[in-house]
Amino acid sequence: MRKINLILILLASVVFAQAQVLPEIELGAKGVMSGNFENNNTIASSAVSDFSDSQLLLGFRQKLYNNWRSQMVFGMQFPDADSDLGQVFYNHVFLKLENQKNIFKIGRSTTQTILNEFPTLRDDDALLFNYALNPFADGTNTQDNQYGNVIEYTHVHNQRYWLTFHGENFTNLSEPNNFDLNAYGGSFLYSVPESQRWDRAIIQRLGVSYNNYVDEQTNTTGSDDLLSNILGTVTLNLRPDPVHFIDLKIQGIYNQGSNTVDRMSTYSEYVRMPSISTFGTIRYIYRKLERPFLQTSLGFGYKTFVNLNESEQLIGIANVFYRIGDNFDMGFQYRYLSNRGQTELLFGQTEHKIQLALIYSVSQLFNNQFDTRNSILNLEHKYLE
Amino acid sequence: MDRKEFLKYGAMGVFGMTMLPANLFAQQTKTANKSLFPAALPFSTKGEWKEFEISIGITEQTLAPAMKIHTLAFNDMVPGPEIRVKQGDKVRVIFKNNTDLNHTIHWHGIYVPWRMDGVPYVTQMPVMPGQEFVYEFTAEPYGTHFYHCHWGTLLHMQSGMFGSVIIESDDDPIKKAFPYEREYTLIYSAHDVNYIRNELNSMLERMKERSFLMKNGRFSAERFNLFNTKEELLESINNGYQPPYLTNQRTSAELPIPNWFTVNGKSYPSTPYLFIKTGENIRIRLINAGTENHHLHLHGHDFWMVCDDGVPLPQPWQRNTVSLSPGKTYDIIVEGNNRGIWTFHDHDTRRVTNNGLYPGGNLLALVYEDLPKKERMVGGMSNMKMQGEMNLLPKIALDE
């Protein structure tokens, strides 16, 4: 009888808790609609409506016992029309546990293949230059480099220094049903929180990372080989001003590659060829009446291959975004891509791409109940759990 | 924590909220209880002036055990310190702004010169970050009053910027009619803690930018939403400017709705006790510095309502419930004539909750110090075997 009473009390406690602790719900949406005109050497093509990179995110957050917080995020993205991912790609399905100093994340999410955020129309516009590329993919889907099944631990020190250890299962086209870890690495990042970003001179972000893909394809002995990438990035506030803001972002990637690859006739060889790539942008933001109003940026990238002469890639991106209403922007972007040497066989000689776009992006919190790690109150007036 | 402990603590979570501390009558509790009432701010005498110093800063406030929020606090306390002076005193208050926000102080109910009234852009410029402003006035009229910030009033008041001003008289008519030794000040407020957090963050971010621009001589009427005349505003609107009430539209679900209710900056079970003895009169000064009506009801007694907005009533009213609307002050006298432990609470019981959970909010207790030990036990709890010794402890009469 005593046991039954205890069970009843436990059940009552569970009901009590479920009735009172509602999660914080975050709804994020981004719609990128562009009309594209592309000229690849002598072949011209156009797309009336390209809505790739549009996505919907739904997040649930709540406090745990001992003041930890949990989050579940579910997100879907519309991939490129020529991808083989289907109509919708589920880019985020993960759980996160965190407190002030620690973050654990597990599930499908963004990978640590990039260390910065660049002001391009779509995240993958300079993918060949600013991502440590997934060697298990075939280059068809940009998502194969951006997302994976991840397990991550991050230690946050002084709300600015982020030390992360991570492991991933990237999409592997040769073994699509193998969900073992096929990559791991670590990164260290100094990053000024968003709420303090505009008034910090001069370093806004500084980071390095070391990523390793566990590669079985390049080794004939049967043991695994490592394809390692070293990434470094810096963001400088050239003009830390709330109205006329200018920053410079640069990222470099050294791909150690595989010594067994000596030519680039396939995408697989391209990503395994030792290379050095850099990508950088200089951006100007005009914030009229305390809201972003106009943003324009210029970006350049260069990629060279350590063991090959006369093979290189160049990219140039110029864009401008104009805010026509809260959350709503009009944009124009021009991208130039040049491939020389063996990369020309893979990607063509040159490409000119012009895009006119409308962008809607919104993030809305419902049932808001606790503060964020990077709020001014938590940063400057004692962190409250 | 093993299963047994889990059950024990789980049960305490459910039942513990209705309990008074075991040592309610100990001297230690009474001493600690004093800190739950606004302390009189010390002053220095400068000629004919009583000079007070008040600063404003951002600090953390514990509303109830384990519930902390960031607040705007005068002299690091919520409510701010009590300014207690004699009628006719010359009062000087040196106000220092140690936050990144603008502020003023409005002296609610006091006959200050109009330039001292603390209304930004009407009687004075706002006291900007790092600035100081000196308020001077003669302490009139007699009675219970309060002060509060008049900049961003909705946010700043519920964030903690309020405090009591008591103007005493040597010839106190209330003391004559109802002789008393002890008095208590109770300042009521209501807080939407999510609104406070989000708006403070937002305002702090905006003010950082504005302070930066001001320092560099880059004032802009439209960016700061400040216009000299209505005509200037209309001209800007014609030229494409959108006022903040258009660009910051919220749905009704996002408008501030208080979910925490405090007395002297605390919610039950951290609210103060009102100690009384049989045969004693106590004076309670009630101030509503919040945005909600509070229908305050005392169990087991009638009380005398003796002052309204500080003004002594020609005929005290005998009642057991008083409706304290925003901005009002009432003084009541409780006669110690019914020994026990009695609740004194808002009879709009939405305000005796913490974030919607009952009990909480502005629930507090009138406690007779001379309650015999044998009457301090609550009976009828023998079925609560799990509570063990807890059934010997006194309980608040939660009888709604």
pLDDT surpassing 60 at residue B392: no
Are residues B313 and B379 located together in one domain of the fold? yes
Task: Read off the pLDDT of residues B335-379 as tens digits, 9 standing for 90 and up.
Answer: 999 999 999 999 999 999 998 888 999 999 999 999 998 887 655
pLDDT (tens digit per residue) in A105-135 = 999 999 999 999 999 999 999 999 999 999 9
Same domain, residue pair B187 and B333: yes
**B202-256 pLDDT, tens digit each:** 999 999 999 899 889 988 888 888 898 999 999 999 988 888 888 776 777 778 8
Mean pLDDT of B129-156: 97
Quote the minimal CA–CA distance from A66 to chain B in Å: 11
A291 interface with B at CB cutoff 8 Å: yes
User: Same structural domain for residues B272 and B246?
Assistant: no
- Examine the domain organization and report whether B347 and B240 are in the same domain: no
* Entry pTM: 0.87
Please name every residue paired with B182 in a beta bridge, in sequence order, or none if there are none.
B282
Same domain, B340 and B375: yes
Cβ–Cβ contact A3 with B under 8 A: no
Structure tokens given for A44: 């011209």
- Among A234, A154, A243, A152, residue whose Cα is nearest residue A192: A234
Look at residue B350 and tell me if it is in a domain. yes
* pLDDT class of A223 with cuts at 50, 70, 90: low
Contact B10 A6 (CB under 8 A): no
pLDDT higher than 50, residue B16: no
The SS3 call for residue A129 is helix
Which of the 8 DSSP states describes residue B386? G
Tell me how far apart the alpha carbons of residues B38 and A236 are, in angstroms, rounded to a whole number: 49
CA atoms in the 13 A half-sphere facing the CB of A247: 26
Q: How far apart are CA A378 and CA A308, in angstroms?
A: 51
Closest in A199, A290, A377 to B206, CB measured: A290
Q: What is the CA radius of gyration of chain B?
A: 23
List of chain A residues whose C-beta atoms are within 8 Å of the C-beta of residue B247? 289, 291, 326
CB within 8 Å of A222: residues ≥ 6 apart:
none
Residue span of the structural domain in which B278 resides: 11-37+172-192+260-400
B308 within some domain: yes
Amino acid at A274: P
Give CA–CA dist A291/A324, Å, rounded: 11
From the number of C-beta atoms within 10 Å of its C-beta (0-12, 13-18, 19+), residue A55 rates as buried
Whether residues B181 and B304 share a domain: the answer is yes
Does some domain include residue B277?
yes
Q: How many domains does chain B have?
A: 2
ipTM of the complex: 0.86
Contact A235, A247 (CB under 8 A): yes
Q: Does A242 touch chain B (CB under 8 A)?
A: yes
Interface contact B68-A371, CB threshold 8 A: no
Residue B142, in any domain of the structure:
no
Domains of chain A: 23-380 (2.40.160.10)
The pair of structure tokens assigned to B394 is 């006194």
Residues B103-120: what's their mean pLDDT?
97
Contact of B339 with B371, CB cutoff 8 Å: yes
Q: Averaged over B297-314, what is the pLDDT?
A: 97
Note whether B240 and B284 are same-domain residues: no
- Is 50 exceeded by the pLDDT of residue B381? no
Of the residues B203, B227, B254, the one at which a domain ends? B254
Q: What is the pLDDT of residue A13?
A: 43
Tell me: the pLDDT tens digits for B28-76? Answer: 889 999 999 999 999 999 999 999 999 999 999 999 998 999 999 999 9
B336/B382 same-domain check: yes
Q: Do A290 and B223 touch (CB under 8 A)?
A: yes
* Strand ordering across the sheet containing B260-263: B260-263, B182-191, B281-288, B329-335, B303-308, B311-319
No. of helices (H) and no. of strands (E), chain A: 6, 17
Q: A190: phi > 0 → left, psi -120 to 50 → alpha, else beta; which?
A: beta
Q: What confidence category does residue A44 fall into, taking pLDDT thresholds of 50, 70 and 90?
A: confident
Q: How confident is the model at residue B20 (pLDDT cuts 50, 70, 90)?
A: low
Look at residue B244 in the predicted model and tell me its pLDDT: 84
Q: Compute the radius of gyration of chain A from its Cα atoms.
A: 23
Tell me the nearest-neighbour CA distance from B383 into chain A, angstroms: 13
Question: Which residues does chain B have within 8 Å of residue A26's beta carbon, measured at their own beta carbons?
Answer: none
- Ramachandran angles phi, psi of A309, nearest 5°: -90, 145
The SS3 of residue A296 is strand
Does B127 reside within a domain?
no
User: CA-nearest residue of chain B to A375?
Assistant: B201
Predicted local confidence at residue B377, as pLDDT:
67
Q: Mean pLDDT in chain B? A: 89
CA dist A61 and A25 (Å) reads 6
Distance from CA of A237 to the nearest CA of B (A): 16
Give percent above pLDDT 90 in chain A: 70
B369 and B310 share one domain: yes
C-alpha distances out from residue A352 to A316, A335, B371, Å: 10, 6, 89
Q: Which of B254, B279, B299 is the last residue of a domain?
A: B254
Would B134 be classed as within a structural domain?
no
C-alpha A75: how far from its chain's center? 14
Nearest-by-Cβ selection for B201 from A16, A326, A376: A376
DSSP assignment of A28-75 equals EEEEEEEEEEEEETTEEEEEEEE-TT-EEEEEEEEE-GGG-EEEEEEE
Are residues B181 and B315 both part of a single domain?
A: yes
A265 touches chain B (CB under 8 A): no
So what's the pLDDT on residue B13?
A: 40
pLDDT value of position A85: 84
Residue B115 forms contact with A (CB below 8 Å): no
Look at residue B68 and tell me if it is in a domain.
no
The answer, yes or no, to whether residue B130 has pLDDT greater than 70, is yes
Query: B172 vs chain A: nearest CA distance in angstroms?
Result: 44
Q: Which residue in chain B is spatially nearest to A327 when comparing CA positions?
A: B247
B233 & B326 share domain: no
Give the span between the Cα atoms of A266 and B302, in whole angstroms.
Answer: 92
Domain membership of residue B211 (yes or no) is yes
Mutate to test the interface with B, among A1, A287, A381 (most CBs of B within 10 A): A381
Give CA separation, B344 vs B33, B296, B299, B337, B341, in Å: 16, 7, 6, 15, 10
Cα separation, B300 vs A336, in Å, equals 84
A to B CB pairs, distance under 8 Å: 67
Same domain, B334 and B246: no
